[in-house]
Every structure is written in structure tokens, then in C-alpha cells.
């Protein structure tokens, strides 16, 4: 894989996460979790996008340009509309709080999928502060599906100990979920017409010192996943295509830019940008 240039755009954070490219505004936003804020980059300057983010983690946008955020501190999914209106989307499962929503992706129908490990609860994260004190209330770490029209929440994966990154394939017939618990792997699921997840399969495994975290799928259906101090790129058959090394532990990644040829990477204290040799 030919990479034109790797640039450190910003550094000095504690733990960066959740990069999200907003096409209509041509900016990247990302979570600066322990500093409890969301930053933005317009290819010229770094700005504060949201001063108090409630320890946000994963961020995504839908086809209409609405922004959806995983708030670890408040243990909920929220939305910032195109008109900058803030609203709560979902904050409980069977009247019990989520652990700390981590990463999120949205189906073209508007249905929301998100992971819910406990990293925002201080008891379960000794590395750094990413939320507040609290307990796991529903007895697990699930992957949820939420239909905003029906206002229906459903646990769709209940047997992963630390589900983390999540992303659809281009045709939305598959979904990929990373697990960062005792066993580190990427699992793929087939998505049926009712958006039920079927036929789980271990797509890739890794070692303890190279945890899979954030994940994305490019236009050619290559799967890109953070993996230790770098990004591992897979073909859709599970074979490794490449490994891009970074100077810090990588948490997440996002494609963007006006030509969609930029790869943005949140890695520990910094945000990096890679210029790729093709659109993604």
C-alpha cells in the first residue's frame, strides 16, 4: 500500500477516540475523552467543537448530516441535528442504564447499532478517567440495535465480554465488531432484511499487546482495524493486506477529505492524517 504522507495534526491529549468526518462541513471531529471535550479540524486549524462532551467516545453521522454521539459519562446515545439541536436518543435497556456506550454505526434505514463495554465506569478502567463512578446494571456488555421510529431497543449480541468497534460493510449485508476483552478478535455477522444479526464468525484474532479497537470498511470492502501501534488492513476474506505503523497506540480511524483519500487516526495523545493513493 502506498502512503503519500503521515502527518501529526494535533497532540497533547490524554486519550483520543471517535473520529468522524462531516462531509458537508469538510471537517473532522473527534473525542478528547479524559479532557471531556470534542475537537475539530478543518484542514487549517484545531478548534473546540464541544466544550463539555460528557466524556464522549464514538461519534458518527447519518446520511442527513445529523451527528450521533456515545456519551460515556451520561451512559446514553445523543444526537446533534443539522440545526445544532441537542437531544437524547436512548439511555436505558429495560429501565436499566447502559454501561458506557462506546462506538456506533447507523444503517441507511436510520437504525442505530452501538457497543456497550464498561470503560467509562471508573471501576472498570484503571488506566485513565473516561467517565464517572458507577456499576454495570443489566448484567453484561452487549451490542444494541435501536430503531428510532419505533423507539425500540434490542440486545443483538450478548456473548462478547468487551464489544468495542463496530462498522457495516458497504452493502450493509455484514457488520464487523471488535472485542477488546480477555480474547481479542474481530467477529463478522450477516445482516438480514430485518436487520437481525446472523451467522457469527471469527474474522480475525490478535494478541494481548495488539488490541483491536476502532474499525472501518473502505469502498473496496477492505476492513481496517486499529491494532496496537498501528492499523491492520484485511481483505474481506480475512487475509491480511497490510499493516501501517504509527508511533502511538491506535484507538480508532476514519476516512475523509474532499476526495475521500485521507485516513484520520486517533492514537493515544494525538490525531494523525495519512494521505492515501486512492479514494476510500
The SS3 call for residue 249 is: coil
Residue 52: DSSP 8-state = -
The CA distance from 169 to 34, in Å, is 31
Identify the pLDDT of residue 1: 58
pLDDT surpasses 90 at 116:
yes
Placement of cell 500500500 in the chain:
1
Average pLDDT for 43-51: 97
Least confident of 19-23, 204-208, 215-219: 204-208
* Residues 48 and 39 sit within 8 Å (Cβ to Cβ): yes
pLDDT band at 8 (very low <50, low <70, confident <90, very high): very high
Closest CA to 104 of 164, 63, 161: 164
The SS3 call for residue 123 is: helix
pLDDT surpasses 60 at 280:
no
Average pLDDT for 44-50: 97
The CA distance from 51 to 49, in Å, is 7
pLDDT band at 2 (very low <50, low <70, confident <90, very high): low
Average pLDDT for 226-253: 96
Q: Cα–Cα distances in Å, from 12 out to 34, 48, 54, 78, 267?
A: 12, 14, 20, 27, 11
Give residues with Cβ within 8 angstroms of 26, minimum separation 6: 42, 43, 258
Identify the pLDDT of residue 127: 86
Distance of CA 150 to the CA centre of its chain: 24
The CA distance from 248 to 224, in Å, is 17
* Residues 204 and 238 sit within 8 Å (Cβ to Cβ): yes
Average pLDDT for 251-258: 96
Average pLDDT for 206-225: 94
pLDDT surpasses 90 at 54:
yes
Residue 184: DSSP 8-state = E
Give residues with Cβ within 8 angstroms of 10, minimum separation 6: 39, 41, 46, 270, 271
Residue 27: DSSP 8-state = E
Average pLDDT for 271-276: 94
* Residues 276 and 263 sit within 8 Å (Cβ to Cβ): yes
How confident is the model over 133-162, as pLDDT tens digits?
999 999 999 999 999 999 999 999 999 999
* Residues 58 and 17 sit within 8 Å (Cβ to Cβ): yes
Tell me the domains of the chain and their CATH numbers: 17-214 (2.120.10.30)
Average pLDDT for 218-241: 96
> Which residues are registered as beta bridge partners of 204?
186
The CA distance from 131 to 116, in Å, is 13
The CA distance from 128 to 246, in Å, is 21
Identify the pLDDT of residue 207: 84
The CA distance from 59 to 39, in Å, is 12
* Residues 149 and 110 sit within 8 Å (Cβ to Cβ): yes
Amino acid at each position: 500500500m502506498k502512503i503519500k504522507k503521515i502527518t501529526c495534526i494535533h497532540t497533547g491529549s490524554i486519550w483520543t477516540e471517535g473520529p468522524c468526518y462531516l462531509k458537508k462541513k469538510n471537517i473532522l471531529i473527534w473525542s478528547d475523552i479524559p479532557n471531556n471535550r470534542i475537537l475539530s479540524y478543518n484542514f487549517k486549524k484545531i478548534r473546540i467543537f464541544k466544550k463539555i462532551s460528557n466524556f464522549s467516545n464514538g461519534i458518527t453521522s447519518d446520511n442527513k448530516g445529523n451527528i450521533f454521539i456515545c456519551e460515556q459519562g451520561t451512559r446514553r446515545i445523543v444526537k446533534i441535528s443539522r440545526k445544532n439541536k441537542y437531544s437524547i436518543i436512548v439511555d436505558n435497556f429495560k429501565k436499566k442504564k447502559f454501561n458506557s456506550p462506546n462506538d456506533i454505526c447507523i444503517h441507511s434505514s436510520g437504525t442505530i447499532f452501538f457497543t456497550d463495554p464498561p470503560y467509562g465506569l471508573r471501576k472498570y478502567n484503571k488506566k485513565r478517567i473516561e467517565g464517572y463512578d458507577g456499576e454495570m446494571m443489566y448484567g453484561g456488555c452487549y451490542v444494541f440495535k435501536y430503531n428510532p421510529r419505533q423507539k425500540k431497543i434490542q440486545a443483538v449480541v450478548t456473548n462478547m465480554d468487551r464489544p468495542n468497534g463496530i462498522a457495516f460493510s458497504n452493502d450493509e449485508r455484514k457488520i464487523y465488531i471488535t472485542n477488546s476483552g480477555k480474547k481479542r478478535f474481530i467477529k463478522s455477522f450477516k445482516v438480514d432484511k430485518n436487520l437481525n444479526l446472523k451467522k457469527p464468525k471469527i474474522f480475525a484474532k490478535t494478541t494481548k499487546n495488539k488490541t483491536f479497537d476502532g474499525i472501518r470498511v473502505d469502498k473496496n470492502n477492505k476492513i481496517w482495524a486499529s491494532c496496537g501501534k498501528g492499523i491492520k488492513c484485511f481483505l474481506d476474506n480475512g487475509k491480511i493486506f497490510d499493516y501501517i505503523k504509527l508511533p502511538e497506540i491506535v484507538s480508532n480511524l476514519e476516512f475523509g477529505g474532499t476526495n475521500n483519500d485521507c485516513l484520520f487516526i486517533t492514537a493515544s495523545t494525538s490525531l494523525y492524517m495519512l494521505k492515501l493513493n486512492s479514494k476510500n
